[in-house]
Structure 1
Amino acid sequence: MRGTTDFIEQKREKPKELDAAKRVATWKEYVQAFPEAKLRTQASRCMECGTPFCQMGELIGRQTSGCPLYNLIPEWNTLAAQGKWEEAYQRLLLTNNFPEFTSRACPAPCEGSCTAGLVSEPVTIKSIERAIIDRAWEEGWIKPRIPLKRNGLKAAVVGSGPAGLTAADDLNQAGYDVTVFEKEDRFGGLLMYGIPNMKIEKQYVERRVDLLQAEGITFKANTEIGKDITLDELESAFDAVLLCIGAEKQRDMDIPGRDLKGIYPAMEYLKANTKHLLDHGENGEPQISAKGKKVIVIGGGDTGADCVATAIRQGCKSVVQFGKHGELPKERPEHEPWPVNPSLFTLDYAYEESFKVFGEDPRQYYIQTTAFHGNENGEVTGLVTVPFSDPRGAEQQVWEADLVLIAIGFQGVDDSKSAGIELQNGLIQTLPGSFQTNREGIFAAGDAKRGASLIVWAMQEGKKAAKEIDLYLSQKDKATCQPSA
């Protein structure tokens, strides 16, 4: 490292972003790469902790703290600071199957648990990780890894999101013949159709899927479980089945006027926009467009923010986002002491863009929607809200809206895709301490098992599920080969 006190003497810097006023005219990623000299300086801020809390990957309360993939962060920070990029990539690859995904789509709880943040500011871990993996692709260090030997056993993975792709990758490298089934026309799950292009360009998802195919994994699109193929058919054709079908059942609102036209679940809106962009580029309008409309987003989370940013790029007339919680604190609160990853107020990319375009933050706090209003054509024209502090509705407010997007979370798996599999609270139940469901040989991982969560938790579950499937099939195959008494 450059010096033992670099974490104090060198100030934390974030990579530059394309100016908000300019980037709303494009669907390209807005985060720009660090120059190498600055990148090495930022990597040198790592303290090389004896106990690196950044890689502990634990839930403290409801907060993810540290990296659930247990990335060897101090090690590849040191190598990056020394300019040993290929060695840094090799250390990153030991724990992370797809760093180009996590370094773009993960909110970096590792940084919230960085020890340097106690006395200074945390290391820019996410930016360094992205630089390492992007350089690995540019330099050609990433090549197909063809397993030297196949064991003759077959595994089916249902769902091609982060959990499914991670499990498929590990099982393939362990020698299994792996087939991934995906209900959509493209692979990647929420990486493809849930996260907007400006946060992760789809070429990076497609590039990785192409590599996995070159390594021997079979991918089948437009194949929906319960519709195009049944669990019984998969069970008959494969030695093990892993369900990574996500918690795609979105929460809805049972209030007057919900059946009006112009009210959509957030994911339906985001998917329609990304699909149009991939199919037609920037020509024409997607099936659901905010162009020239007054948009209201109900839900204060990241998905809601993505809806705000998408609506601005589509040319909305105005956009407002309702949240049921209050404004987050600007400094670490006492009830979230280090190494808890704190929930802090930030000017997310979408809100910065709203300031540039409309001159204001779109967020409204402690808001509850009680009814939608419409016209004689059955189209939404507005909605009614009350503050959460006013349960009787004495302080009603009416808002105009031509397009309403509901982003209030997810309820669990689609029941039609889990026939014969035990569910609880909408999620697939597995045996205690296991990924196996109530049906032997059928496993579950990711959001379908744990609920909607971060990409790093989904990938951790994919890795652990693959390991358990390998152990299960190895023991099963061993028992089958035992001579009878």
Structure 2
Amino acid sequence: MADPKGFLTTPRRLPPRRPVDERVRDWDEVSAPGGLLPIIGAQADRCMDCGIPFCHEGCPLGNLIPEWNDLVSRDDWLRASERLHATNNFPEFTGRLCPAPCESACVLAINQPAVTIKNVEVAIADRAWEGGHVTPKPPDRLSGRTVAVIGSGPAGLAAAQQLTRAGHTVAVYERDDRAGGLLRYGIPEFKMEKRHLDRRLEQMRAEGTKFRTGVDVGTDMDAAELRTRYDAVVIAVGARAWRELPVPGRELAGIHQAMEYLPMANRVLEGDYARPPITAEGKHVVIVGGGDTGADCLGTVLRQGAASVTQLDIHPRPGDERTEGEPWPTYPKIYRMSAAHEEARELAASPEADVDARVFSAATVRFEGTAPDAERPHGGVRALRLIGARADGESGPGTERVLRADLVLLALGFRGPERNGGLLDQLGLELDERGTLARDASFATGADGVFVAGDAGRGQSLIVWAIAEGRSAAAAVDRYLAGSTTLPAPVGPTDLPMTA
């Protein structure tokens, strides 16, 4: 503990973001370059080195937060990086993308603003890359055992890296043309520039992990045959079966799922398109869904130059403070302002803009469309009709409203793994009552040597849970192959976040 009074004398301070009118004109990350380092040492000093650091419990990775806070406050960046990487394979991802349940569990947050744990984390990770301290760690010897990992999102990548470093020969199969899963095509560039992903993939290749992209296991390749070629298989395909909105008019052209829309914007930046096939440019856009994916759509829509945009959330507006029903150290449902919402709010203040960024307690009743024609046989969407939704699920009288909409994006979350391929049937896998892949306490399915990691078994969750599951599943596979393991297993398949 470098400064015993740091939490008393130093206020919480966040790094500056680039001006809104600048950042909505490009796809670079929203944070101002170099904004963290001048403030991060003092922010790390606010860590109290608690006797019982509940931030460990808030983070499923078990990150050694007080240790690397202390090291940063002492300007010992190399050791801070070592302690950070001891529990987290990809801290530059989590430091950008995780909503930081560790901060909600910070002991200081009982009655003061929490330590800026997430910002300290990303500062350590970026400083480690800049200093050349993140290097390949190939195994000292090979085990002679082989593992196939299906899916290259955070769970698949974490499992693959852990198993490669344990000495197994690992091949990652990804159906997209580039590795990364939702990190590649689901997360907008302004939240995480893909150079961070690319350099981590290069580290993994240098360690010995092989990547087979453009291979949809279950369709392009028989999954049962793949199992015979490897000593073990890890399924980490995520939970990409999106939720639908079954209301009248859903068949109209111009209504798309968020995960049909977002990847195309990322592919423009990858050089695949000059202009995305689905674009918000010049259109009146309505986003249905108030979560993180909806916010990703909002930031993307703003950068594409929409004529107007409205985001609908069926839930009431959360309060600004914890309620008695959500005590510390749980992760509370409070009103949060993402960078995209900040952009929308500032643009809404401009007389030239037509932005109504967030409408709470709004339930979609139906879509209204234009007459069918040769190009749009069902017609195209032209409006969305909504009503006010009460907490009891009933609609409020006199709350009906019509929004103009040339483009509607559905961001309603995900139900579990997709079922339209042959992967599940070919391996004889079963689904549990939640619609996710059934597995036992060791992440193993009913098929011998087949394991499940990440959202495919847990359901839609956070990136820190995906990485934690990847690490834990890797330990289970290593034990299956070698009889024992020294790999860490931070979580079990049934562990849950801290909730009230």
Q: State whether TM-score is above 0.5.
A: yes
User: Match for residue 496 of structure 2?
Assistant: none
Per the TM alignment, residue 3 of structure 1 is displaced from its structure 2 partner at its CA by: 2.5
User: Match for residue 92 of structure 1?
Assistant: 84
* CA–CA distance in structure 2, aligned partners of residues 114 and 217 of structure 1: 36
Q: 1:470 aligns with which of 466, 478, 492?
A: 478
Per the TM alignment, residue 393 of structure 1 is displaced from its structure 2 partner at its CA by: 7.4
- One-letter amino acid matched to 2:405: A
Q: What CA deviation, in whole Å up to 9, does each residue of 1:20-79 have, x standing for no partner?
A: 1211001000113435342111110000111110011xxxxxxxxx11100000000000
Per the TM alignment, residue 426 of structure 1 is displaced from its structure 2 partner at its CA by: 2.1
User: Match for residue 169 of structure 2?
Assistant: 177
Q: 8 Å contact 1:34–1:131 — kept in the other structure?
A: no
* CA–CA distance in structure 1, aligned partners of residues 319 and 397 of structure 2: 28
- One-letter amino acid matched to 1:202: K
Stretch of structure 1 that moved more, 354-363 or 166-175 = 354-363
User: Match for residue 418 of structure 1?
Assistant: 424
Per the TM alignment, residue 476 of structure 1 is displaced from its structure 2 partner at its CA by: 10
Alignment of 1:39-188 (within 5 A): 39-56=40-57, 66-188=58-180
Q: 1:231 aligns with which of 210, 223, 239?
A: 223
Stretch of structure 1 that moved more, 212-221 or 340-349 = 340-349
The reply to whether residue 265 of structure 1 matches residue 257 of structure 2 is yes
Q: What CA deviation, in whole Å up to 9, does each residue of 1:244-270 have, x standing for no partner?
A: 001001011111111111100001100
* CA–CA distance in structure 1, aligned partners of residues 252 and 293 of structure 2: 22
Q: 1:342 aligns with which of 332, 335, 344?
A: 332
User: Match for residue 59 of structure 1?
Assistant: none
Per the TM alignment, residue 2 of structure 1 is displaced from its structure 2 partner at its CA by: 4.2
* CA–CA distance in structure 2, aligned partners of residues 20 and 333 of structure 1: 32
- One-letter amino acid matched to 1:34: G
Q: 1:316 aligns with which of 295, 306, 309?
A: 306
Q: 1:427 aligns with which of 436, 446, 455?
A: 436
Q: 8 Å contact 1:8–1:120 — kept in the other structure?
A: no
User: Match for residue 382 of structure 1?
Assistant: 383
User: SS of the residue aligned with 1:362?
Assistant: strand
User: Match for residue 437 of structure 1?
Assistant: 445
Per the TM alignment, residue 347 of structure 1 is displaced from its structure 2 partner at its CA by: 2.0
Q: 8 Å contact 2:159–2:471 — kept in the other structure?
A: yes
Q: 8 Å contact 1:55–1:72 — kept in the other structure?
A: yes
TM-score by length of 1: 0.93
Aligned length: 465
Structure 1 residue runs of 5 or longer lacking an equivalent are 57-65, 478-485
Q: What CA deviation, in whole Å up to 9, does each residue of 1:380-430 have, x standing for no partner?
A: 101111222454976432211000000011111111232221012321001
User: Match for residue 63 of structure 1?
Assistant: none
User: SS of the residue aligned with 1:264?
Assistant: strand
Q: What CA deviation, in whole Å up to 9, does each residue of 1:259-310 have, x standing for no partner?
A: 11110000110011101221158xx421110000000000010100110110
The reply to whether residue 448 of structure 1 matches residue 456 of structure 2 is yes
Q: 1:366 aligns with which of 350, 361, 370?
A: 361
Q: 8 Å contact 1:412–1:426 — kept in the other structure?
A: yes
User: Match for residue 186 of structure 2?
Assistant: 194
- One-letter amino acid matched to 2:150: V
Tell me: CA distance 1:37–1:292, structure 2 relative to 1, closer, same or farther (3 Å).
closer
Q: 8 Å contact 2:15–2:39 — kept in the other structure?
A: no
Q: 8 Å contact 2:388–2:396 — kept in the other structure?
A: no
- One-letter amino acid matched to 1:462: G
User: Match for residue 24 of structure 1?
Assistant: 24
Tell me: CA distance 1:361–1:48, structure 2 relative to 1, closer, same or farther (3 Å).
farther
Tell me: CA distance 1:27–1:51, structure 2 relative to 1, closer, same or farther (3 Å).
same
- One-letter amino acid matched to 1:133: A
TM-score by length of 2: 0.90
Stretch of structure 1 that moved more, 167-176 or 375-384 = 375-384
Structure 2 residue runs of 5 or longer lacking an equivalent are 350-354, 374-378, 486-500
User: Match for residue 346 of structure 2?
Assistant: 356
- One-letter amino acid matched to 2:424: S
* CA–CA distance in structure 2, aligned partners of residues 295 and 159 of structure 1: 32
* CA–CA distance in structure 2, aligned partners of residues 392 and 141 of structure 1: 58
Q: 8 Å contact 1:240–1:469 — kept in the other structure?
A: yes
* CA–CA distance in structure 1, aligned partners of residues 321 and 111 of structure 2: 14
Q: 8 Å contact 1:351–1:361 — kept in the other structure?
A: no
User: Match for residue 274 of structure 1?
Assistant: 266
- One-letter amino acid matched to 2:328: W
Tell me: CA distance 1:393–1:236, structure 2 relative to 1, closer, same or farther (3 Å).
farther
Q: 8 Å contact 2:312–2:362 — kept in the other structure?
A: yes
User: SS of the residue aligned with 2:309?
Assistant: strand
Alignment of 1:319-330 (within 5 A): 319-330=309-320
